[in-house]
Chains A and B, each alone.
Chain A
């Protein structure tokens, strides 16, 4: 008889399951009842606000201004009319209206880039080329000025593409820097370089990102020689790169530390020089080990790009808050916040699911 036939039939037994998982003790039963009540109350409240009493469209007045009076009436729930009305502004901010297919295409390119990078088939040297290529194409699309695309200056950029650019370019530039800093911090026979790396990491991690963003927008113009004007977005981008590099360096360092010493000694025994040893033996293994925490750090920085709104850059969050500062829509902040939350959540949740999957896989392969 085969093993499958011996296994007892797995009948689904809702009553038994509920007794084991919901009503397994008197306090558990009480808790279950309280929680069910709270969930039903909250869900019912949300459904009434978001669907039953919601307003999906508003009439437009004679002067082209939407008549949002119906949304302000008592007992009315969400006013979803704000989303279609403002979606182009929230996603692309002040980018010229007729050219907004360009940032939209950039967003699609970024998503494709993330999908490719997540696929293990592409984990090879060519991936760096794909990244550089994508960033160049994104630059051409956003700025324009070539191939018949009208030029769009940086101060008009905004919304989702700007958030994605700040995050992606930030991490793409921070990662190599982080690897160098991590290696520097581990270089036992270069004490001066090690000290330099320690100082860099500790100082950057000592103050919050907001402080660095303020500093970047105030200090970078002072750093530049006369006549050189530094753009606010560029200043914030540099601040994000330097900030992210310090945190990523610590993650990479953890990977370097967890590698057994024998790997390094074996590479030495083969007569490999420092850079070849790192490139061929140490880094491929160390980085592989820290992919899950790296992805978690990426998630953190993706969320943290929203802080640039404090220094007046029109990222996704700033575009959203500006959209609801428009007088007719002033009461509709929560609808827009929910919309923004869904966008951020979609990106972060995808990344965190991915990192959890990798973690499980690595655990499995380590056990064998």
Chain B
């Protein structure tokens, strides 16, 4: 290395030192200001607040929670669970709706294609928050519990949410569920066996009777053998609200509908472009081999389009999870909402933001690890 400005290595080092130095100076300046301001406001850093009782009222808690008794840590955990609750269901439903709409846009039926296109174009050009307000308003416009809609026995639609019957859990249901799990494993092994058999002999042993027996007949037989218990916990009006059954709150329902309807438009576009990206010759070649159209779609076209679909799909799933933070606009208490309340009550801004960051980072890393694994599994196997 020469000590000269014309030496690229030296120049690079100087530039990096300068840039990193400037950023470090800025960070140091901000940190010092923050420390002074926190000291002036008598806010001590640290995580001790997690074990203090929280005075946050929480409307929807999947685990037990008592305001002013339970801790901030527990409140934040409820926030995480609420985010998960809406995100997981949302991802599944948005994928289903989006796939249907994406395929619908390519349908030979002109009307279906047009409707799908209009849906996608209109819904994705309106802010999600506005859509959430609309859905929430719609769900709140239901009558109060006493005049609730009762379309079928046990189902009540009111401004307190959707109330529906719950199955009273008996040991027999557990055994039937376990049998179903066993059935899944059996089906999986049988399908693999059938694949190998087909490769070796060209004849595929029947798979659907085995699947039917393992997944439906056996669990039902177990359930029937244990006396076929079936009791529903029906909701009933007592006083001003319902007792029994399960509830979907208007906040949760509005957020879920909004997220699904909005994200499905993006997923539909991904699915559509993925299917369009597979050359038409693939369809024709499959047809020339004498394969039925459904098999061509399943065995030839879909596996190829999935390679194009999966990466953008992963980022849409992440968007859905991040967009679930709009919950705060309609009063559903997700992690951002509860962390924000915590941070306002305790003044622990840095800790609150760190928690939000860690939670979303965990989600995004989990999704990208899973999607990378899946992508690697379906990737083109080249020599």
Contacts and interface: CB of A to CB of B under 8 A. Distances in A.
A124 to B, nearest CB: 30
A208 B339 CA distance: 13
Contact of A337 (B15, B38, B122, B133): B133
A39 B110 CA distance: 14
B209 to A, nearest CB: 27
B203 to A, nearest CB: 32
A215 B352 CA distance: 9
A36 interface: yes
Contacts of A214: 336, 340, 343, 353
Contact of B134 (A28, A299, A334): A334
B110 A210 contact: no
A192 B20 contact: yes
A207 B356 contact: yes
Contacts of A24: 108-109
B360 A207 contact: yes
- How many interface residues does chain B have, given as a range? 35 or more
B356 A211 contact: yes
A299 B125 CA distance: 8
A318 to B, nearest CB: 10
A348 B122 CA distance: 10
B130 A344 contact: yes
Interface residues of A, number: 51
Interface string B18-38: 011001000000100110111
A149 B133 CA distance: 37
Given A189-B8, A219-B353, A222-B34, A303 B328 contact: no
Interface in A195-224: 196, 203, 206-211, 214-215, 218-219, 221-224
Interface string A308-336: 01100000010001000000000001100
Contacts of A209: 322
Interface in B165-222: none
Interface in B315-333: 322-323, 325-326, 328-329
B292 to A, nearest CB: 15
Interface of B: 8, 12, 15-16, 19-20, 23, 30, 33-34, 36-38, 40, 108-112, 115, 121-122, 124-130, 133-134, 137, 322-323, 325-326, 328-329, 336, 339-340, 343-344, 349-350, 352-353, 356-357, 360-361, 364
Given A215-B353, A309-B329, 10 more contacts: A36-B111, A192-B19, A193-B19, A207-B357, A211-B356, A218-B344, A225-B33, A303-B128, A306-B130, A317-B127
Identify the 5 closest CB pairs spanning chains A and B, nearest first.
A348-B125, A208-B322, A21-B110, A306-B127, A303-B127
17 contacts: A28-B109, A35-B115, A190-B12, A192-B19, A196-B19, A210-B325, A218-B343, A219-B34, A219-B349, A221-B37, A223-B34, A226-B36, A304-B127, A306-B129, A333-B133, A341-B130, A344-B130
